[in-house]
Amino acid sequence: MNIQEIKNEISLINDEMLKLFIRHLELTVEAGRLREADGKPLYDRKAEEITLETAAANSPQNMQNYSIEFFRSLINLSKDYYKDNK
- Reported as a single tens digit per residue, the pLDDT across 15-44 is 999 999 999 999 999 999 999 999 999 889
CA distance 55 to 65: 9
32 burial (CB, 10 Å; 0-12 / 13-18 / 19+) is buried
pLDDT tens digit sequence for 46-76: 999 999 999 999 999 999 999 999 999 999 9
- Specify the pTM: 0.89
Closest CA relative to residue 79, chosen from 19, 37, 16, 35: 35
Instruction: Give the confidence band of 86 by pLDDT, cuts at 50, 70, 90.
Output: confident
CA distance 69 to 59: 12
Mean of pLDDT over the chain: 96
Does domain 3-85 fall under CATH 1.20.59.10? My reply is yes
Domain locations in the chain as residue ranges: 3-85
